[in-house]
């Protein structure tokens, strides 16, 4: 009986030792292994972070934008937008980018003019030319021309202008237009029926930029 009890005690002690050893191997040892792995991952992550910081510090692909440059670019874009807005507004309102403004009062074709040596046909434009500049603008017939739809240039007809003047019709001769004032008179061009007016050009007396005024569709189709 004592022998059986001794054997049972020995078997029980061996089982306890086996359980404790297995627990230590699978759990305690495994935990230590996982902890070591976690430490390696953390060290790897820290190493990569330092490498990235080093790349940025040494001027790598990642570039920081200068706030001053961004602000200047934004201000420039805003100025361009305002300029385009003003141009569109002036275009809609029919305002001229030149110191002169032109309004066509009447446009007509005639086959001939009494007193004119030229046989015609003639195109007569009655125009009002206004000066928005702060100084007078001088215009002469020699500085005025008409471009047709084929971009052919037609100078003012001296013969036609003389014929209209002889009939007491005001025509544009040499004239000084004061600031904020306008002059209204007629211009005569020799223009065939298949030639249609498109652009009126004016160059002030004494030189200067040539101003181009696109004529209204109602005049182009005449």
Regarding pTM above 0.75, the answer is: no
pLDDT at 204: 94
Is pLDDT of 182 > 90? yes
- DSSP-derived letter for residue 3 is H
Residue bearing the bigger pLDDT, 74 or 52: 74
| CA distances, 95 to each of 57, 101, 103, 183, 215 (Å) | 56, 7, 11, 17, 13
Is pLDDT of 64 > 60? yes
Per-residue pLDDT of 93-132, as tens digits, reads 556 789 999 999 999 999 999 888 888 899 999 999 999 9
pLDDT band at 148 (very low <50, low <70, confident <90, very high): very high
């Amino acid at each position: 009986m004592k022998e059986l009890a001794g054997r049972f005690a020995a078997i029980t002690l061996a089982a306890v030792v086996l359980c404790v050893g297995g627990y230590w191997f699978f759990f305690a040892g495994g935990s230590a292994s996982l902890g070591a792995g976690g430490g390696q991952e953390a060290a790897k992550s820290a190493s990569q972070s330092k490498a990235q910081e080093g790349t940025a510090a040494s001027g790598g692909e990642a570039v920081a934008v200068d706030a001053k440059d961004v602000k200047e670019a934004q201000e420039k874009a805003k100025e361009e937008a305002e300029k385009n807005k003003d141009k569109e507004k002036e275009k809609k309102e029919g305002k001229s980018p030149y110191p002169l403004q032109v309004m066509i009062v009447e446009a007509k074709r005639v086959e001939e003019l009494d007193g004119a040596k030229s046989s015609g046909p003639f195109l007569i434009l009655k125009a009002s030319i206004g000066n928005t500049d702060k100084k007078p603008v001088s215009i002469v017939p020699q500085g005025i021309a008409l471009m047709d739809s084929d971009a052919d240039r037609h100078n003012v007809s001296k013969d036609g202008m003389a014929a209209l003047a002889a009939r007491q019709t005001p025509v544009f001769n040499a004239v000084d237009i004061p600031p904020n004032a306008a002059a209204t008179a007629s211009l005569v061009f020799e223009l065939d029926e298949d030639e249609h007016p498109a652009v009126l050009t004016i160059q002030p007396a004494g030189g200067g930029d040539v101003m181009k005024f696109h004529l209204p569709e109602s005049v182009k189709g005449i």
